[in-house]
């Protein structure tokens, strides 16, 4: 089995990729996808440490993170749909005015 | 290469070939049973009693021209039937279809008649059922045609809606059986009460069985829930633009999904391979008989019941089946708590 | 066959798929690549002796959340980002991303180098592997409150999503 450090490095790399996606891409859906990548990287860290410590809490927290991610994706996508209907664009740079 | 490993490899190949043949048999049975229900003959020209009809169908499908619409996305168009077929085969990998057998003492440890023995088998089946949605929705989208898109979206929305009731029916069985492994669940159902009532879970969970079968029929897009691929309404739904082997893949995937749902229903509710007169090592005969009975029921349903309209179908799934499944789960949980399983 | 090799295979698939997700122009391909990445992560969970989490990952993430994303992408049908920049240049090669990306890459490499000098944390011990029953027990006893709150959260999210995505009735709300 690969050492714990390898799993953590993989998780760090995935998190960075997700963070890069959030900052760099100008498409709301791709930004939401990058957030999901970040959440998955965190899940991997939790499960890896849970296994290393022999605790069941790692897996339980992953369970909760997944549930929260599902809820957040649902509401986030609903907001994206609602925004798209008003401006016909998925580029976050077009939503710069507070006035509707 | 120990005998066990060799046996497992042979078993995997055998299951693959058996699933393919079961699709062929299903093609023939569907047409013959439909004919019987409609008081006509069905295929009778190709081979004795029409038994070579599936071969004729396969040869016809292989020789047709493979078309792709010009505006279709080529990668997704090719990927969709692959996802459907792969998910269909993969789901059967965790279904046990017989007791542990030593094949006349050649394999001392006993070969489990299950391609992959995982201890979360029930969840794996559910997971792969969720993945098969992608084949359909990608087929609908990539064909770039309005019939396909509508059919694909409707079909996938139907599948994800009925997945909830499917999962809750599974959960009720898990409460009674106390294990996620299909082999354990089947072994719980050995034996009889009072000498003649088998300890099958259908006796303990009749409502759960009905919910599971209804959700299973909806999941596999079969009548009376086959509006998305109804010939009269939508040309052919998500596989309108497919021809030849790609269409054969969808066809195959649908039949293998039916076989998987029937096999899982047999394992969960009808006692798997346990039966009165045969020894445990020949239990797979009982398994085949039970799966055959459920498949007959499937075909019978298709050619007897009228089709649900799409909004009726969705309303049924969310407003009738899901509350019923939840209530079933609650009653089961109360029963397990107070009666001590 | 060795779990070591499998770790590298799954890890490579996850990283390459994630890179492709942020690099793809077409959002449908991004969603499908992310599903592939989730599949690889599920394999990693199996390697970490967490089969329940692995299967739940497929059911919830790859099977439900990504279907939602796919439906929304198909509904909106806006395949390209329209920015003020030149359309022909790939999104990751435009000046803003290049500068930011370079800075981020340098920071990441520095961090990785630092992490690798910290010394090995060593292999996983032979700590006990929790069974699904243990997960269930802990979930409903120690984490029961969080469980109930999560169910309320899902209800709120469901209602919120329906309300937010609803079209306004003709003639105002």
Please state the domain extents for chain A. Answer: 4-92
pLDDT per position as a tens digit, C43-59: 999 998 888 999 999 99
Averaged pLDDT for residues C84-94: 59
pLDDT band at C42 (very low <50, low <70, confident <90, very high): very high
Judge whether C123 and A3 are in contact, CB under 8 Å. Answer: yes
The minimum CA-CA distance between B148 and chain C, rounded to whole Å, is 13
Q: In the structure encoding, which two tokens stand for residue A89, read together?
A: 């664009």
Q: Chains near C, with 3+ CB pairs < 8 A?
A: A, B
Judge whether B5 and B111 are in contact, CB under 8 Å. Answer: no
Domain C1-81+90-98 has CATH 1.20.120.1200: yes
Residues from chain A contacting residue C167 (CB–CB below 8 Å): 85
CB contact under 8 A, A78 and C130: no
The domain made up of A4-92 has a fold known as Helix Hairpins (1.10.287)
Judge whether B189 and B200 are in contact, CB under 8 Å. Answer: yes
pTM (2 d.p.): 0.88
Judge whether A14 and A37 are in contact, CB under 8 Å. Answer: yes
Judge whether B325 and B211 are in contact, CB under 8 Å. Answer: yes
pLDDT band at C91 (very low <50, low <70, confident <90, very high): low
pLDDT band at C171 (very low <50, low <70, confident <90, very high): very low
Angle at C64 (CA atoms; ends B308, C35), nearest 5 degrees:
125
Q: Of B234-243, B325-334, C17-26, C84-93, where does mean pLDDT reach its minimum?
A: C84-93
Q: Which of A23, A29, A56 sits opposite C135 (nearest CB)?
A: A56
Angle between helices B146-177 and B244-269 (to 10 degrees): 20
Query: What one-character DSSP code corresponds to residue C130?
Result: P
Residue B198, φ and ψ in degrees, nearest 5 = -70, 150
Q: Which of A59-68, B150-159, B170-179, C69-78 has the highest mean pLDDT?
A: A59-68
pLDDT per position as a tens digit, A13-57: 899 889 888 887 888 999 999 999 999 999 999 999 988 888 888
Query: Which residues are CB-neighbours of C28 under 8 A, at least 6 positions away?
Result: B76, B141, C70, C73, C74, C79
Q: Where are the domains of chain C?
A: 1-81+90-98, 128-173
Q: Are strands B197-198 and B192-193 parallel, antiparallel or unpaired?
A: antiparallel
Q: Of B45-49, C22-26, C69-73, where does mean pLDDT reach its minimum?
A: B45-49
Q: How many CB pairs under 8 A join A and C?
A: 237
Q: Is the pLDDT of residue C72 over 50?
A: yes
Interface contact C154, partner B, CB < 8 A: no
Using CA atoms, how far apart are residues B231 and B222, in angstroms rounded to an integer? 13
Q: Which residues of B224-260 are buried (b: 16+ CB within 10 A; e: fewer)?
A: bbbbbbbeebbbbbbbbbbeeebbbbbbbbbbbbbbb
Identify the pLDDT of residue B328.
94
Judge whether B266 and B295 are in contact, CB under 8 Å. Answer: no
Taking 50 as the pLDDT cut, the residues of chain B under it are none
Using CA atoms, how far apart are residues B208 and B322, in angstroms rounded to an integer? 11
Mean pLDDT of chain C: 82
Query: Which residues are CB-neighbours of A92 under 8 A, at least 6 positions away?
Result: A26, A28, A31
Identify the pLDDT of residue C57.
94
The minimum CA-CA distance between C91 and chain A, rounded to whole Å, is 7
Radius of gyration of chain A measured on its C-alpha atoms? 17
Q: Please count the CA atoms within 13 angstroms of the CA of C12 that sit on its side-chain side.
A: 6
Using CA atoms, how far apart are residues A3 and B240, in angstroms rounded to an integer? 50
CB contact under 8 A, C59 and B120: no
Q: Which of B127, B141, B153 sits opposite C59 (nearest CB)?
A: B127
Cis geometry, peptide bond prior to residue B147 (ω within 30 degrees of 0): no
Query: Which residues are CB-neighbours of A41 under 8 A, at least 6 positions away?
Result: A11, A12, A13, A14, A15, A18
Residue B337, φ and ψ in degrees, nearest 5 = -70, -45
pLDDT band at C173 (very low <50, low <70, confident <90, very high): very low
pLDDT band at C92 (very low <50, low <70, confident <90, very high): low
Q: Which of A8, A34, A60 sits opposite C143 (nearest CB)?
A: A60
Interface contact C96, partner B, CB < 8 A: no
- From residue C58, give the alpha-carbon distance in Å to each of B64, B153, B245: 36, 21, 28
How far from each other are the two terminal CA atoms of chain C, in whole angstroms? 61
Using CA atoms, how far apart are residues B254 and B261, in angstroms rounded to an integer? 11
Helix/strand/coil for B197: strand
Among residues B132, B208, B134, which one has the least CA distance to residue B167?
B208
- Rama region for B237: left / alpha / beta (φ>0; ψ in -120 to 50; rest): left
Q: Which residue is associated with the tokens 């690889």?
A: C40
Mean pLDDT of chain A: 88
Judge whether A89 and C172 are in contact, CB under 8 Å. Answer: no
Helix/strand/coil for B192: strand
Q: Is the pLDDT of residue C172 over 70?
A: no
């Amino acid at each position: 089995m690969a050492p714990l450090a390898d799993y953590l490095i993989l998780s760090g790399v995935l998190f960075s990729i997700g963070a890069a996606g959030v900052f760099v891409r100008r498409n709301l859906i791709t930004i939401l996808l990058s957030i999901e990548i970040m959440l998955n990287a965190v899940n991997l860290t939790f499960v890896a440490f849970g296994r290393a410590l022999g605790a069941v809490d790692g897996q339980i927290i992953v369970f909760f993170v997944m549930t929260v991610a599902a809820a957040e994706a649902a509401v986030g996508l609903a907001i994206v749909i609602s925004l798209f209907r008003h401006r016909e664009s998925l580029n976050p740079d077009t939503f710069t005015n507070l006035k509707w | 290469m120990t005998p066990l490993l060799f046996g497992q490899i042979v078993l995997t190949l055998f299951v693959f070939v058996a699933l393919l043949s079961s699709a062929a048999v299903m093609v023939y049975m569907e047409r013959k049973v439909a004919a019987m229900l409609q008081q006509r003959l069905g295929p009778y020209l190709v081979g004795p009693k029409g038994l070579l009809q599936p071969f004729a169908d396969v040869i016809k499908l292989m020789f047709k021209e493979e078309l792709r619409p010009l505006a279709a996305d080529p990668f997704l168009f090719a990927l969709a039937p692959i996802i459907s077929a792969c998910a269909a085969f993969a789901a059967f990998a965790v279904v046990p279809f017989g007791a542990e057998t030593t094949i006349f003492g050649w394999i001392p440890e006993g070969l489990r008649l299950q391609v992959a023995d995982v201890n979360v088998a029930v969840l794996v089946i559910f997971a792969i059922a969720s993945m098969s949605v992608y084949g359909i929705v990608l087929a609908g989208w990539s064909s770039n045609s309005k019939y396909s898109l509508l059919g694909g979206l409707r079909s996938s929305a139907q599948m994800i809606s009925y997945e909830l009731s499917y999962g809750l029916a599974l959960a009720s069985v898990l409460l009674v059986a106390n294990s996620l492994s299909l082999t354990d669940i089947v072994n719980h159902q050995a034996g009889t009460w009072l000498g003649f009532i088998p300890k099958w879970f259908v006796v303990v969970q009749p409502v759960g069985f009905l919910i599971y079968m209804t959700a299973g029929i909806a999941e596999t897009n079969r009548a009376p829930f086959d509006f998305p691929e109804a010939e009269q309404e939508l040309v052919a739904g998500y596989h309108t633009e497919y021809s030849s082997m790609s269409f054969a893949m969808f066809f195959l995937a649908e039949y293998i999904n039916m076989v998987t749902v029937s096999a899982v229903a047999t394992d969960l509710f009808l006692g798997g391979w346990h039966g009165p007169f045969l020894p445990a090592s020949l239990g797979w005969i009982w398994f085949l008989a039970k799966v055959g009975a459920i498949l007959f029921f499937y075909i019978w349903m298709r050619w007897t019941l009228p089709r649900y309209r799409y909004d009726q179908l969705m309303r049924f799934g969310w407003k009738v089946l899901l509350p019923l499944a939840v209530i079933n789960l609650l009653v089961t949980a109360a029963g397990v708590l107070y009666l001590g399983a | 066959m060795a779990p070591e090799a499998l770790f590298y295979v799954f890890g490579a698939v996850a990283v390459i798929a994630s890179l492709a997700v942020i690099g793809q122009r077409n959002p449908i391909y991004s969603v499908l690549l992310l599903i592939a990445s989730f599949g690889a992560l599920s394999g990693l969970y199996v390697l970490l002796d967490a089969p329940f989490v692995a299967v739940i990952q497929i059911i919830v993430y790859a099977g439900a959340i990504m279907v939602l994303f796919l439906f929304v992408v198909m509904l909106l049908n806006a395949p390209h980002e329209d920015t003020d920049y030149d359309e022909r240049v790939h999104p990751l090669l435009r000046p803003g991303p290049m500068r930011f990306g370079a800075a981020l890459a340098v920071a990441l490499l520095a961090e990785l180098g630092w992490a690798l000098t910290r010394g090995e944390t060593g292999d996983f011990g032979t700590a006990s592997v929790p069974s699904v029953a243990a997960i269930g027990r802990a979930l409903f006893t120690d984490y029961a409150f969080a469980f109930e709150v999560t169910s309320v959260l899902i209800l709120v999210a469901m209602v919120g999503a329906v309300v937010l995505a609803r079209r306004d009735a003709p003639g105002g709300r």
